[in-house]
Amino acid sequence: MPKCTINGQEVEVKEGATIIEAFKKMSEDIAHYCWHPGLSVAGVCRLCMVDVEGARGPQIACNTVVREGMVITNQSEQIKDIVRWGMDFHLINHPLDCPICDQAGECGLQEQYMKFGKYDPEMGLQKVKKRKVVDLGERVVLDSERCILCSRCVRFTDEVSKTNELGIFNRGDRSEIGTYKDKPLNNKYSLNTVDICPVGALTSKDFRFRQRVWYLKNADTICNGCSTGCSVKTYYNEEGLFRVKPNHNEDVNGYWMCDEGRDLYKFANKESRLLKAKKFDGSTWEEVSAGSAVKSLSHQLLETIKETPSKVAVVYTGQFTNQEYADSLKSFDGLGVNNFYHWMNNQASKDEFDGLLIRGDKNPNTKGLQNEASKFSGLKKLENLFNELESGNIETVFVMAPENISAYPEYESHFKALSKAKNFIWMGANQTSCYESTNSSNTYLIPLKSYVEKSGTFTNHNGTDQNFNYVTTLVAGALTLSEAMTLFEGQDLDFEIRPKIYKTMKNNHFTSDRGEL
C-alpha cells in the first residue's frame, strides 16, 4: 500500500492505483475529461497534469501509478497554466451554444471552466464545422461540434457493452464520433454513453429539450426493472419524473444501467397512473379516494372473509417491498387466509442473464416475496387459481398487481380471467383500459404507490437486501400495501394521507447537486 503526498497531504492508496485515483480518494479537485473510473485509461484530454517531484516534466495523473513517497501537486503555477490552456484547446472549436444545449447545468466544460479555466478566450478565427443532430440510434443523438473527443463513449461500447458500434472517424481536428453504416448505436446499454459524455455531444432522445437540469431535483433509489436491482438516481420535479441515471454501486451495477430500466419512470408518472380508487357494482363505476374505498371494502367484506377464509385468494407479484409483503401476509394470515398465489411473469426466461446487468426476472423483488411468503403458508402457482375460480371454490380475489406493466404482457388477460371472482379487489399503480371489461360485479380498483413514492427493501437476485427511500409523491392518496391492509383491517393509519397541494405557479428549485462528472 504505497503512500504519497497530494497537495501537501499524505494519502495511502491501493497497490497499482494511479495518481488520479489518489486525488479522487482525497476529494481533491483535478481537471479531467477522458478518464472515467469504469473505463480503461485513454490519456488523451491531457488535463489531469500534475507535477511529480523528480519527474522529467508534468505527468498525466490518469496513467501514472503512485509509487511510495511520491510528492504530487497540481497547485503549482505551471500546472494551473497548463490546465487553463488545456481548457482553451478544448473550447476553441466548441460552439458554446450552452443556451440551447441540454447538457448546460451539468456540463463538464462549464464546470471545469469555472473551476480551472477562467481565461479570456483567444480564439478569433472560424471554428471547425462538423455534423449536427446526428441520429446515432434509437435513443441517442450526436452533436459533433460539441464533442471534445474524449473517447469515453467509444471505450464504453468497446469495453462494457462490447458492441463496438462507435468509433472516431477521420483525423486531427476533423475527427468525429460516428457509427458504421447500417450499424447504429442500438445496444441495450446505449444511454450510458449519454451519461458519461462530459459535454452535450451525446444527448438522450427521451430527455432532450424536456427540462433544464437545474429545474430538477434528484434522489437515489433502486431500479425496479429486474432482479439485478441497480442503484439509480431519479430526477424529478413537481411535474413528475424525467429521467433515471445509474448510481455507482460496485457490488451491483458498477457505473451502469440498462436502457430498459431508464424507461420505467414513465409508469410512475401521473399520466399512466390510477389516480383514484374505483368501485364497480355491476352497472356503474364510482370514483372515490383510495382510503375511503378500502374502508368501504372493509365494511363489506371483512366479516365474510373471517368467516370463510378458505374462499379467499391473494395474488402477489414480485414488485413490492419486503415490508409490504410482511405486513400484508401477516394481515391475511391473521384473518385466516392462506391461499397465496405467485403471479410470475415470463416464467420461461426468468433465469436468463446477459452477462452484464439485465436479468430475465423482470421483478425487483421475487426473492423477497418468496422469503416472506415462506414464513407463512408459501406460494402456489397462479394456474391453480384459475381452476379454483372455475370450480367456484374461490369467491374473493385480491390481486397485488405489478407496477412495471411492460414486463407483464399477460396483464390484461389475467385481469379478465381473475375478475371472474365474485369479489374482485385489484390493487395496483397503473391505469389501463382493460379495467372496464371486468367480469366481477363487485370490483374494486385501489391505487397503490409506485416505487419512488415509498421506502422499503428489495431483495435482489443474489439475496442482497437493498433499502431505498421515498423520493417524491406523484399521485396523492395512493397507498402502499401495508397502508391498504391497515385500513382494510378497520384501523386508521397513524398518519394522515394528505393530498399534496400542487401550486398553480411553477416553483423552480435550483439544485446545486448535479451529479458528478
Partner 1 sequence: MQVKVLSEHYDKPEFQGLEGYKKLGGYVELEKAFKMDPKQIIEDVKAAGLRGRGGAGFPTGVKWGFLPDNGEPRYLLCNADEGEPGTFKDRMMMERAPHQLIEGMIISSFAIGSKKSYIYVRGEYDESIRILTKALDEAYKAGMLGKNILGSGFDHDMDIYVGAGAYICGEETAMISSLEGYKGQPKLKPPFPAIEGYLGKPTIVNNVESLAAVKYIIRDGVEGYRKHGTEKSAGTKLFSVSGNVVKPGNYEIPLGMPMKTLINDLCGGMKPGRQLKAVIPGGSSTPILTAEEAMKVNMDYESMAEFGTFLGSGAVIVIDDSNCMVDLLGVLMHFYHHESCGQCTPCREGTGWLNKLVASIYKGEAKMTDLELINGISNHMMGKTICALSDAAAMPALSFLKKFREEFEFYIREGKSKVKGSSYAQMHH
- Cell for 414? 389475467
Q: Is 125 in the site for partner 1 (CB under 8 A)?
A: yes
> What is the DSSP pairing of strand 423-428 with strand 340-342?
unpaired
- Of the candidates 16, 68, 171, 348, which one interacts with partner 1 according to CB under 8 A? 171
Q: Is 47 in the site for partner 1 (CB under 8 A)?
A: yes
The angle, 0 to 180 degrees and rounded to 10, between the axes of the packed helices 382-391 and 411-418 is 30
Which residues inside 261-320 make contact with partner 1, applying CB under 8 A? none
Q: Which is nearer to partner 1, 42 or 471 (CB)?
A: 42
Short-list 437, 469, 465, 432, CA closest to 447: 432
Q: Give the DSSP per-residue string, 380-395.
A: EEHHHHHHHHHHTS--
Least Å distance between CB 173 and partner 1?
A: 4
Pick the stretch among 5-13, 16-24, 146-154, 480-488 that binds partner 1 (CB under 8 A). Answer: 146-154
- Of the candidates 128, 302, 335, 356, which one interacts with partner 1 according to CB under 8 A? 128
Contact status, residue 228 vs residue 222, Cβ threshold 8 Å:
no
- Of the candidates 3, 38, 85, 455, which one interacts with partner 1 according to CB under 8 A? 85
Instruction: Sheet with 217-222: list strands edge to edge.
Output: 217-222, 231-237, 240-246
Binding pattern to partner 1, positions 211-230, x when CB under 8 A? --------------------
- Cell for 505? 405557479
Residue 271, Cβ neighbours under 10 Å: how many? 11
Least Å distance between CB 111 and partner 1?
A: 17
Pick the stretch among 41-49, 211-219, 286-294, 494-502 that binds partner 1 (CB under 8 A). Answer: 41-49
Q: Which is nearer to partner 1, 58 or 402 (CB)?
A: 58
Q: Is 90 in the site for partner 1 (CB under 8 A)?
A: yes
Pick the stretch among 5-13, 67-75, 122-130, 339-347 that binds partner 1 (CB under 8 A). Answer: 122-130
Q: Is 45 in the site for partner 1 (CB under 8 A)?
A: yes
With a CB cutoff of 8 Å and minimum separation 6, the contacts of 107 are 98, 101, 198, 199, 200
Least Å distance between CB 470 and partner 1?
A: 43
Q: Which is nearer to partner 1, 63 or 370 (CB)?
A: 63
DSSP state of 160: I
- Of the candidates 174, 210, 212, 500, which one interacts with partner 1 according to CB under 8 A? 174
Q: Which is nearer to partner 1, 169 or 285 (CB)?
A: 169
Instruction: Give the distance from CA 39 to its chain's centroid.
Output: 21
User: Is the CA virtual torsion 140, 143, 148, 149 positive or negative?
Assistant: positive
Least Å distance between CB 135 and partner 1?
A: 23
- Cell for 4? 504519497
Amino acid code (one letter) for 204: S
Which residues inside 65-84 make contact with partner 1, applying CB under 8 A? 81-82
Helix%, strand%, coil% for the chain, nearest 5: 30, 20, 50
Least Å distance between CB 62 and partner 1?
A: 9
Pick the stretch among 164-172, 288-296, 370-378, 478-486 that binds partner 1 (CB under 8 A). Answer: 164-172
Write down the residue that cell numbers 503512485 correspond to.
Answer: 66
- Of the candidates 96, 98, 168, 219, which one interacts with partner 1 according to CB under 8 A? 168
The H or E element spanning position 1 is none
Q: Is 148 in the site for partner 1 (CB under 8 A)?
A: yes
Query: Whole-angstrom distance between the N-terminal and C-terminal Cα of the chain?
Result: 27
Short-list 190, 194, 252, 244, CA closest to 220: 244
Short-list 218, 103, 112, 179, CA closest to 512: 218
Q: Which is nearer to partner 1, 47 or 232 (CB)?
A: 47
Q: Which is nearer to partner 1, 164 or 511 (CB)?
A: 164
Number of residues in contact with partner 1 under rule CB under 8 A: 35
What residue ranges bind partner 1 (CB under 8 A)?
A: 41-47, 49, 57-58, 63, 81-82, 85-86, 89-90, 92-93, 122-123, 125-126, 128, 148-149, 151, 167-168, 170-175
